[in-house]
Structures are given as C-alpha cells and as structure tokens.
Amino acid sequence: MSRGALLRTILGVALCFVLAFALGACATTSETEEEYEPGYDEGTIATEVSTLPPIKIAALESDDLLPLKVAQTEGLLEIRGLVVEVLIFETVEEKHAAFSDARVDALISDMVDLALLSNDDLTVYAVAVTQNLTDEQINASSEATNTLHGTLFEIPDEFVSQRVLAFSHDFLLGNTASGEDTAPEASAEAINTLIGALAQAVGQVNTASHAYVDLYLEQGVAAQYLYDEPTLPTYPFPEIPDREEGEALLRWLLENDKLQRAINYDDLIFVPIAP
C-alpha cells in the first residue's frame, strides 16, 4: 500500500471514531436535561464597562427581578465586568422619588409609568422588557401606576401587560447616580452588557426553572403563599417594548387627557448600538 493510501486509511478510521463519539455525546445530551450555553467567551471582560461605578436600579419586590438576581448570584454580571445594585422600595412613590432625585440610574416599571414620568419632564428610556404579566399582576400594576400622581383613573389592561427596565437620560449622558461621570459610549456599552447578562439568565431560568425556586421565593411573590412548589413564569428575552402597542398606549393617554403633551414612542425607547 502506498504512503498516500495508508494516510487516507488512517484518517478515515480516525474520522469514524470522531463521528461515533460525537453521535454518542448528542444522544447522551438528549437523554439528560438541556443546559443553557453562554454565548460569549467567559474569559473576556468589557474594558469600558469594567471602569464604571455600580449601576443602581430601583424596583419594587417582585418576581420579575428573578433573571436579574440570577445574573448577580451566578456571576453573569461579574464575568462581564459589570456591577449592579438593585435597590428595593416599598412603594411606587418612594421608587420614583429616588429616580427623580438621581439616586438611581434606572428603574423597573411599565410603559404607562414611563409616559407619566416623561410628562412630568423626567426623561426615561426603556431598554428591555423584563416580564409579561399575569392578570393578577396587571391589576396590581394598574393600581400602583394609577395612583402615582394622586389621581385614580382606569387604564386598559393591555397597556400594563409588561414590565420594562428603563434608564435615566442622565445615565445615557454619562452622569451616574454614584456621582462619577463617564463617557456616554461606556453607558451604552454597559446597557448592552447588562442586556446580554439578562438574556443568559433568562435562558437558564426558562431551561431549568426548578433550580431557581428558592431564589424565586425570595422575591416576596404572592405565589409562595399559594403553592408548596410554585410554577415559575416563562420570562421573555430582553427586547424593547412592542412599537404598535406603545404607540396605541400613548394615543390613549393623550386622548383621555392623561398627558399634557404628545409623547412619541421613540421618546421613551433607547436602543444601544452593539460595539
């Protein structure tokens, strides 16, 4: 047998072994619980982001914080060079006071809330949906939002069906709640990085929800009083709120005299450009 033929034979045998091993690995994976694979190099850290002070996010105790908590506790933020502090408030009024006083960089709320804040000249931009709400959560969210300015009015349920993560205009300009100024490019990169960490956390929670039951119950959700082993919600991957629904909401608020001026959908949305 020639040297070339021998080499081809050896390579052919080796390829068969490789294929057999790969097929066996695939079969093993299909028989076990699927795991979420990170879509980034775990050895890399974004240099701009790693120089930022902690990002401070205001929120009420709620189960929509679970992906963010997972990102914190499992190092999904740390590996990306990002530090996030979640400040929990007991009431909507306290949360908004912290936002208006620039004690936080961002808040978790809904699009109705953002429109009302913008109407009061507190510029805020939604960057991602954090949860699709159940009927019970919609009722609670509507009540909290409606009483924001001391007046009660009915809001159609479809306009408070999602919670969103939103950042202040100051943060986008590089003015952080920690008092340390940074470049606007670093702020945009930080938002991109945070969204990436949230996306990975959402994937992990949705894939293996049983592993996060204890952390879920720590969020103070009502479900813990109803079920011994609560069923965790399926969380949406972080995307900006739907444009059509957002525009319909803003029209409704203006037509029903809830806004003093017209506010455009794009006035409430920030889409950072990936580096």
Query: Angle 122-123-129 (CA atoms, 0-180°, nearest 5)?
Result: 115
Taken as a whole, the chain contains a residue count of 275
Report the pLDDT value the prediction gives residue 5, as an integer from 0 to 100.
Answer: 44
pTM of the predicted structure, to 2 decimals:
0.75
Q: Strand order in 162-168's β-sheet? A: 84-89, 55-60, 106-109, 162-168, 124-132
List, as one string, the DSSP characters of the chain: --HHHHHHHHHHHHHHHHHHHHHHHHHHHHHS---PPPSS-TT---HHHHTSPPEEEEEES-GGGHHHHHHHHTTTTGGGT--EEEEEESSHHHHHHHHHTTS-SEEEE-HHHHHHHHHTT--EEEEEEEEEPPHHHHHHHHHHHHTTTS------GGGGSEEEEEEEHHHHTTB-TTS-B--HHHHHHHHHHHHHHHHHHHHHHHHSGGGGHHHHHTT--GGGGT-SSPPPPPPPP--PPPHHHHHHHHHHHHHTT--SS---GGGGB--PPP-
**Residue-level pLDDT, tens digit, the chain, 275 residues:** 544 443 344 334 343 433 343 334 444 333 434 454 544 444 444 446 777 889 999 998 887 888 999 999 999 999 999 999 999 998 888 998 999 999 999 999 888 889 989 988 888 999 999 887 655 555 555 444 444 444 556 777 667 678 899 999 999 999 999 888 888 888 999 999 999 999 999 999 999 888 888 888 876 554 444 556 677 888 889 999 989 989 999 999 999 988 899 999 999 999 876 54
Pick the CATH number of 47-268 from 3.30.70.380, 3.30.70.20, 3.40.50.300, 3.40.190.10: 3.40.190.10
